[in-house]
A and B are shown apart, each in its own frame.
Chain A
């Protein structure tokens, strides 16, 4: 048991990542936001738990998430990377030219081009914006075929 983990950690490579560790039961996920070595198992031994996220909405219709911002700032200062979903939740470090660790209270200083991530901790991840635009375009395309047959049936009557 002693050597099981150290085989991973021998030699060079591996870095600290802040990512979601999945827990919970069947059809009931629950994520812990965790700082761990990148070469560890997803749900394996971690360095520190920095928070949690409940992806299912509760009785009041909200998805509850807790973030230990103080320790997050420490690990980001140590050079931790963020996983893709963690970036979507928190934001993208480095895009705000050093203003990233401002925390949710710095909104009045934000300019239009600088958007806070989902939690408002770091700037918005570009994939979030792209994902939102793709979703919007897909919804528009779904609405157009419904409109087109309706217009198509009306046009032969009025057109030409």
Chain B
């Protein structure tokens, strides 16, 4: 039978259960970054900057936060990129398994729920990852799903997550906000923007967020999903 003894050294604490603990170590880091997604009547735009930071340092200017899950679903995640990468691998494996089992790729709404459940599975040791999922639903209309770190999710017309979210969201609300889907009797909620107009808004908001946010900048990756497939674009952002 183990005897309960706590042995204190200068930096570590060794408990009787055998785990050594450093007094201030955290399993999480925040690598910064901002993600945006906008849904239209027949397209969806998902975008994220490419800066990877740690504290006041920039680790790289060319890190992609976007991940293609299928031809109709692209995920963008900010937060702790190690957790993000694991989450992406996890979802990719599940999507491949589904494809082999059912003979068709997962639809975006199905992937949205899978992402929610995957995040909640780690409810007691969460993925430090703030996600937006964008794509086309089963009818070909644009859809955006926005998440918190433990898996609560909602389908919306547009969303942002990450360091620049609080700067960008008010602009998107101003330009894109429409009647709430909860209103009853219902009112029309579609965003009447064309694909080009939405792209311009995405580029402008990132340029503005880069000016006022230290974790946003270096480069912008944009992915447009529509019936013609997935189209990628890259532009430079300010590197200071």
- Asked if A pairs with B, the answer is no
Taking Cβ atoms with an 8 Å cutoff, the residues of A that contact B are: none
